[in-house]
Each structure stands twice: as structure tokens, then as C-alpha cells.
Amino acid sequence: MKYGAIALGAAVLATMSGGASAQNLVKVDGSSTVFPITEAMAEEFQIEYRGKYRVTVGVSGSGGGFKKFCRGEVDVTNASRPIRPSEVEQCRENGIEFMELPVALDALAVVINPKNDWVDYLTVDELKKMWEPDAQRKINNWSQIREGFPDKSLDLFGAGADSGTYDYFTQAIVGKEHASRGDYTASEDDNVLVMGVANTLGGLGFFGFAYLSENTDKLKPVPIKYKDADPVLPSIETAKNATYQPLSRPLFVYVSKTAADNREVVQKFVDYFLDPELAPELVSEVGYVPLPAEAYDLARKAFDDRVTGTVFENGSQIGISIEDLLRSERSR
């Protein structure tokens, strides 16, 4: 399912929902990375409940989605990173209680132009050298990254500062959220990044695995060497078995407790994300990694018991399994 087609579907759904009452409408916003998953769920949901319920899905990035969510403007927000303490406080000030639910796993792909014949892998330290704040206006040639790399322009493409993908990448690679150089081509639209790398010989970019899987004819994925392990390519399997480090990550939806408690449409829509048969099928269909069976069970129990808040009070946790995250949520 391609992003452009999905975006068109969202626009159609938004138009169709114009006459739907607020009681029968679910408003979703947030991450462009999680968007394909939520739109697939929305399409199936509206097929089952045709004429009764409607879902609108917008894209404003994880940060933009949290702003709307914590103002009570949407019922559900998609996020490719955990909610921040400052966002938790915004929700608290506005009386918004929420459930934090993982919905899939992702391998954050680092990609280069297919005609790039000098990169066989990159280390985390080499990626840091490219992206850290001190690299701005200084590191602009591949020959500066590794001895033996050619004298060719290094052109970087990545998510914008409102994106959860940007937050996760900078945390995992540079060691701190929002710590990166600013002189790169940034966009909240992953297709802009895809085409940027595809049309630039010395290009390098990063985005969610689904956008790589949709564009394998235009991009070359880069194996990442983490610590002493062998270089590993991003894939469904390496995200699932957690060997693709440090760029394997969970994806989330955050659900308003009030909306779920008081409106059947929200409860029923969220049920789709937690269905152990339907959810893995739809998640796989759009190029992401389904949760392990135990994680679906734990997330289902957390939602049914209305476990509110976040397990990320101290920020993102790189390399921890989704099952362990959900167990810690249950123990709160």
C-alpha cells in the first residue's frame, strides 16, 4: 500500500465523514510512519461498519500529533517515538488521560543511492560523524567518513524536527534527541526523502522500513554495524529478532481514555489494532513488523484494564524488547 494512495484514501474518508456525528467519528493524527498502519485499520474498520462509523486520519508528525492530542482535538494519535515528559505534562494540564499501546515494530532504514558502489556497511560511529551537530558545514564529503571512500559530495536527507523518526534516530545514533546538524534536506513526507536519495548519487537518508520496501528499485539499504556485531541489514526478520540495532523500534498509538470510555466507535476501532489475527495481517501488508503474540496479549490486557500513562517517564529506551516494556507497564 503506497503512501500516496493512502493519503488519497484519507482525504476521501475525511470528505465522507463530513456528515458523521461526533459520537460516531474517530479523529486520528500524528506520525507519517505509523500512518499506513492506521489507514489500513481504518479502511477495514469502515468496511465492517459501513455507514455507521467513520475514521479520519491526518499527518502532522509525532510531535504535531501529540500537540493536538493533548489539546483534546483528536481521539488517537500515531507516534513513532514515545511521548515526552513535557507532552505528558501538557496532557495532564488539560485533563487528558491516555493509554499507550504499541502496534508494530519497525526497522529504521538507512539508505543510499543504488549507484553508490563504495558503501558496503556503515558503523554507528560513522553515522554519528555524519549527523552530529559538530558536523554542520564541516562534514560534507564521503572521503571524510572513512579512509578509502571517494571524493564525492555527501548529501543528507532525513525526517524533520517534529518527527518521531528524527527523535529516535538522533537518540540512537548521536546519543541525544534533537541533537543533529541542521544543514540537511528535512521533510515530514517520507516520499520526498525517498526521491531525494534516489536522485542524488552521494545521497544518504533514513526513514521507516515500509518506505524502503515500497521503493527497493530506487534505494539501496545500508547494513549497520553496532558495537562488535557483524553488519545487519534492516528487514522484518531482523527487527523482529532485535538483531538490527540500534535502529529497531516500537511504533505506538496513544488513545484518549475519555474517548474510549464514552464512545463505542473509539473502543471498537482500537480493538482492530489489538486483534491477534487481523492486526498482524494488516501490519505486514503495509510493510511493518507485527508484534510478538505475547505483546498483543499484554497490550490487549492493558487496554481492557485502562492502564493509563507511559512507561517512558525518563525518555526513550533503546534496545529493550516490546514484551519487557509491556510487562513494566502492567507492573505500574
pLDDT tens-digit profile of 139-173?
Answer: 999 999 999 999 999 999 999 988 888 999 999 99
Q: At what angle do helices 264-274 and 278-285 cross, to 10 degrees?
A: 70
Neighbours of 217 (CB within 10 A): 7
Fold: same for 3-106+249-330 and 109-240? yes
Number of H helices, E strands in the chain: 14, 12
Cell of 142: 564521503
Return the domain boundaries, the chain: 3-106+249-330, 109-240
pTM of the shown model: 0.77
Helix (H) or strand (E) holding 248: strand 248-256
Contact assessment for residue 67 and residue 83, using Cβ atoms and an 8 Å cutoff: no
pLDDT at 5: 42
Max Cα separation, the chain? 63
d(CA 226, CA 204): 18
* Superfamily in which the 3-106+249-330 domain is placed by CATH: Periplasmic binding protein-like II (3.40.190.10)
Compute the Cα dihedral for 287, 293, 299, 304 and give only its sign: positive
Residue 262: partners with Cβ closer than 8 Å, 6 or more residues away: none
pLDDT tens-digit profile of 290-328?
Answer: 998 889 999 999 999 999 999 886 655 555 556 666 666
The CATH class for the domain spanning 109-240 reads alpha beta
Three-class secondary structure of residue 201 per DSSP: coil
User: Cα 110–252–260 angle (5° rounding)?
Assistant: 160
pLDDT tens-digit profile of 4-44?
Answer: 444 444 444 444 444 457 899 999 999 998 999 999 999 99
- Taking phi over 0 as left and psi of -120 to 50 as alpha, with beta for the rest, 272 belongs to alpha
